[in-house]
Amino acid sequence: MAAEYFGGVLASSRSEVPRDDRGAYFAGLVSRLTTYQIRTHFLLYSVLKTAFDGELIEINKPEGPGQLTMYVERSSYSAAMEFSPKEDPLVIILHAFFGLLKEDLISKFISSTKEDFARNYQTEVEESGIIFQPSALGVEWAHGRGELPVWRFLDSGVDLGCHQEFQIESGFRRFDKRFPTSSPFSRKNAKSSERELADRHK
């Protein structure tokens, strides 16, 4: 998959404009991402494209990301990522999502338990999981297609081959409730995830 992303860099770098060095930027971006982060980015924008395909939502406007909120069950994410028994899903979720957040490839995320979502966010979900919102940069580079303008991402005529790399059955859905949070990852949520991780390794 990393090779596919770098291939997209090369394709979008072919320009007749000498000063168009976006390819160099994206090559540097991809080189900073781990395999987990690249696969997670591909997965998130696959399910996002499927859930909102054809809708007139402008990701590049301030209200855009909030209108494209998705909920991902932790078990479904783990299945799509094809983790081995030696890979701890919770550790990798935090690594992958914080990395994407740092690079502005998503705009917000909250990873927590079903009980914590209900208690601290008054939100009912099927199981522990992640709620995330995309970013304009994440859309611009979705699937290594840096040559597409961001507003065309949800164009039903644009085929990104979303699910070719994954076995996706269920557990990914649009999240229509407005999800207020003053920060991408709340202090309560961080402490909750740290406790869960600590309990798992006792």
Q: Which two tokens stand for residue 48?
A: 């996002």
Q: How far apart are CA 201 and CA 117, in angstroms?
A: 23
- The DSSP code for 105 is S
> pLDDT of the chain along its 202 residues, tens only?
556 655 555 555 556 666 767 667 777 888 899 999 999 998 999 899 989 999 989 888 888 888 999 999 999 999 999 999 999 999 999 999 999 999 999 999 999 999 988 888 778 888 999 999 999 888 887 755 656 778 888 888 887 765 555 566 678 888 876 655 444 444 455 555 555 655 655 5
Total structural domains within the chain? 1
Residues 191, 113 contacting (CB under 8 angstroms): no
Question: Which amino acid makes up residue 86?
Answer: K
Q: Which domain holds residue 25?
A: 2-200
Nearest to 52 by CA among 154, 139, 132, 196: 154
